[in-house]
Amino acid sequence: MPKHYRFVLKMIATVLLSICWIVAHATVPFVVKDICLEGLRWVEPSTVFAYLPIKQGDLFSDEKGSQIIHALYSTGFFSDIKVLVQKNTLVVNVQERPVISSIDFLGIHEFNKENLIMALSSVGLSNGRRYDVAQIEKSKQELKRQYLARGYYAAKVKTTVKPIDIEHNRMSILFSIVEGPSAKIREINFIGNKTFSTRTLLDEMQSSTPNWFSWYTKSDLYLQEKFTGDLENIRSYYLNRGYIEFNIDSTQVSISPNKEDMYLTVTLHEGRPYKISCINFAGDLLNKEAELAKLMQLNQGDYFSAEKQQASVMAIIDKLGEYGYAFASVNVQLDIDREHDTVKLILHVNPSRRVYVRRVNITGNSKTRDEVIRREIRQFESAWFDSSRIILSKDRINRLGYFTDVNLTTIPVQNTNDQVDINIKVTEKSTGTISLSAGLSSTDKIMLSGSVSQDNFCGSGKSLSLNINTAYAHRTLDFTQVDPNLTIDGIQRIVNLYYHTSQPLYRSSDSSFQTITAGGNLKFGIPFSELNTIYFGAGVEQESLNTESVHSQSYIDYTKKFGNVSNSVPVTIGWSSDTRDNSIVPNQGYYMQVNTEYGTPIGQSQYYKADLQMRYYYSFARGFVLGLTLQGGYGNGVNSRPYPIFKHYFAGGIGSVRGYKPNSLGPKDKITNNPIGGSKIIVGSIELMFPLPGTGYDRTLRVFAFLDGGNVWGEGGNGIGTNSLRYSYGLGLAWLSPVGPLKLGLGLPLIKYKGDQYQSLQFQIGTVF
């Protein structure tokens, strides 16, 4: 018989035997009278029964058995499951998976253990979970992904699983990691750039080759998300300079065999720059074409700019929103003339329908009272929709400082075409703080401070704070209570109680001179616009001068004439305005404050003083900010009394004229020749701030160059003139460090005068109250 016939007969026989076996072992369907569970140790029987797709009285079949196995496997509790039949009883035999009781790591340096534990938890592996081989493999891939995100392409992960409590079916997992070297970007190459140099394009990227500050910025590590963002920055750079047909043809990322070096290549097509030949409007312009045209940031003859085009579109949409058109849209059509390298812009305006606001809904404020948020809202119910008022409302709610997120959405009202609801969803944050901090300053040496504050007391919007500060020359105990909305019109009340002590920075070692100030004041702030507030108030103050061993002639003369204790009842009137985009690291806007104080005849100290503070910030290039600061003060005594010596102004040092010793400028004592301050001050500064090279556009770390000028004058002294001003220039570094704001300055005087005291390097870290 031929071989192939024998093979066919053999296969037929095998199939027939298999069919006979299946028929012999097939379960005849039956009604289940009982269900027995075997092998359970820690999993509750009730849990298993809850997952079983069968119960007593149901008809059991082979298909039902497969469903039981699938259902119990899906729980993740068991590694092996058998379904047996004994007469009319169903027996389910299981083997439980062990429980993971500990997860540990070996060889980690780039991460801390807590971060990796959180990463594994995000993919389902944590203490108390059941052991699953597939889950362990998934966790290994997650650890590798974490290292890849930090440039460790050679990282290796190995797992060791060990039983630690057989009786209780518990086990531990150890991840042994060989991190290896991190891959650095060694080269970034561009192909096809003819107009702009490689250096120019590299400046638009966060990714870079290693430099002297890469240890901080990590800019030399390759990240896919960061590289994608860099390509978009380059695209924007070209599109904002008229290159409408710019395109990135391809990108190539390669790594060296040892996985230590990365090479990036970008192939691009620049095209030609296009100028705007004309700008036309189309659609329903609501008879406001002239008004809308003024909002255009592009003009005929300008090079096309995608950024300015988008800004113009948003300005038009916002303007239409101010008239109640909440769903306005503007589509821009580009008509390119390649022969003349020009482009025509056609803006199709669709205002859609005008709507009014039916209701303003607030959610998410579990602590903050509804009225605290609602009084900041400038969009009224039953009024026409106004996008400018909605933006202003969001800004005002954000400025409260009670929320981590404020989200405003416009929702059309069902079954209407002219109504919308404004939904405001806030995410509250903790507003109570207890803090202890330390700082170091070249002026005040070591500073220790503590504070207890609650900015949103019981959700009422009122704030309470107690600050304690101690330094080399100053000590402060200060209690403040602020009610920002004493009345429905937004009048705020400020109550302040304080106790201050101060000593001159320049004093003899055997001098115990000290000024003690104790008092309190009550102020009211009346807003007369969204950005401007007028303040007025009154207080009671006592100044005690301890001059037992003082050698300063000016203080001796003052106490002989007016005594060691002076009481005053000052009244104050002030005004402030603030448009800064950020109070800590501003890029745009200004801050202005004027304050006048008058010591009334009720007290022994009779005087008047006026203070002015002005700060202006202008961002003229990406990351570059010009800051202008001016501080002025003028004081004088009344009723033939001198200006109180304890109200003197001082200048010199950080926050004043850098490069000079702190508080060293101005009049000197006749005997000790130490600075005693004066009744008049002018201090100004021009500061150019820019990112530290190699750090991208990090606003928390900036370098600055400065030019300072100013001085202090006493009563009857030299007049305020340019000849008596002191000027300095220099460089500095500002950093919002984890331990507090750090400011380091290197200042030099423009012209040196006899008797002046200099200090080139000055620094301060920590916040001074």
Residues contacting 615, CB < 8 A, separation 6+:
580, 586, 590, 591, 592, 627, 628, 629, 630
Most confident of 4-8, 32-36, 73-77, 451-455: 32-36
Residue 681 and residue 632: Cα distance in Å, rounded? 5
11 band by pLDDT with thresholds 50, 70 and 90 = low
User: pTM for this one?
Assistant: 0.61
Q: What would the pLDDT profile of 624-658 be if each residue is shown by its tens digit?
A: 899 999 999 999 988 878 888 888 898 988 888 98
* Rounded mean pLDDT, 102-123: 87
Calculate ∠ Cα 347-350-354, nearest 5°. Answer: 145
Q: What would the pLDDT profile of 355-412 be if each residue is shown by its tens digit?
A: 999 999 999 888 888 888 888 888 989 899 999 899 888 888 887 878 878 899 999 9
**H-helix or E-strand containing 673?**
none
Are 509 and 529 in contact by the 8 Å Cβ rule? The answer is no
Query: What residue has token string 């010199």?
Result: 652
Q: How far is CA 470 from CA 169, 464, 546, 606, 767, in A?
A: 58, 20, 19, 30, 12
Outline where DSSP puts E strands in 233-284. Answer: 247-255, 261-269, 275-283
Three-class secondary structure of residue 580 per DSSP = coil
668 band by pLDDT with thresholds 50, 70 and 90 = confident
Whether residue 428 has pLDDT greater than 90:
no
Residue 449 confidence (pLDDT) = 52
Q: What is the DSSP letter of 454?
A: E
**H-helix or E-strand containing 198?**
helix 198-202
Residue 8 confidence (pLDDT) = 54
Higher pLDDT, 181 or 615: 615
Residue 213 and residue 199: Cα distance in Å, rounded? 18
* Rounded mean pLDDT, 290-315: 94
694 band by pLDDT with thresholds 50, 70 and 90 = low
Crossing angle (nearest 10°) for helices 387-399 and 306-322 = 100
Residues contacting 80, CB < 8 A, separation 6+:
94, 95
Most confident of 471-480, 512-521, 534-543: 534-543
Averaged pLDDT score across all residues of the chain: 83
Residue 704 and residue 623: Cα distance in Å, rounded? 12
| Percent of the chain at pLDDT exceeding 70 | 86
Whether residue 279 has pLDDT greater than 90:
yes
Query: What residue has token string 């009394």?
Result: 641
Q: What would the pLDDT profile of 326-355 be if each residue is shown by its tens digit?
A: 999 999 999 999 999 999 999 999 999 999
Query: What residue has token string 């990090």?
Result: 698
Least confident of 4-18, 97-111, 154-168, 679-693: 4-18
Closest CA to 447 of 456, 437, 436, 439: 439
Residue 313 confidence (pLDDT) = 95
516 band by pLDDT with thresholds 50, 70 and 90 = confident
* Rounded mean pLDDT, 561-570: 82
Residue 607 and residue 637: Cα distance in Å, rounded? 4
Whether residue 165 has pLDDT greater than 80:
no
Residue 89 confidence (pLDDT) = 84
Maximum C-alpha span of the chain: 140
Query: What residue has token string 């909305």?
Result: 485
Its sign, for the CA torsion 280, 285, 288, 293, is negative
Least confident of 59-68, 604-613, 707-716: 59-68
Q: What would the pLDDT profile of 190-246 be if each residue is shown by its tens digit?
A: 999 999 999 999 989 989 998 877 777 778 888 888 899 999 999 999 999 999 999
Are 207 and 217 in contact by the 8 Å Cβ rule? The answer is no
Domains of the chain: 25-96 (3.10.20.310), 99-178 (3.10.20.310), 184-269 (3.10.20.310), 275-350 (3.10.20.310), 356-428 (3.10.20.310), 432-765 (2.40.160.50)
Per-residue b or e along 644-662, where b marks 16 or more CB atoms closer than 10 Å to that residue's CB: bbbbbbbbbbbbbbbbbbb
Whether residue 485 has pLDDT greater than 70:
yes
Residues contacting 207, CB < 8 A, separation 6+:
185, 188, 219, 220, 222, 223, 226, 227, 230, 264
Higher pLDDT, 76 or 186: 186
Q: What would the pLDDT profile of 353-370 be if each residue is shown by its tens digit?
A: 999 999 999 998 888 888
513 band by pLDDT with thresholds 50, 70 and 90 = low
66 band by pLDDT with thresholds 50, 70 and 90 = confident
Whether residue 21 has pLDDT greater than 60:
no
Are 731 and 685 in contact by the 8 Å Cβ rule? The answer is no
Output the six-digit token pair for 161.
Answer: 């699983």
Q: How far is CA 683 from CA 375, 504, 612, 615, 698, in A?
A: 39, 20, 10, 12, 29
477 band by pLDDT with thresholds 50, 70 and 90 = confident
Q: What would the pLDDT profile of 699-740 be if each residue is shown by its tens digit?
A: 678 889 999 999 999 876 544 555 589 999 999 888 776 655
Calculate ∠ Cα 393-396-397, nearest 5°. Answer: 85
Residue 382 and residue 535: Cα distance in Å, rounded? 34
Least confident of 26-30, 110-114, 297-301: 26-30
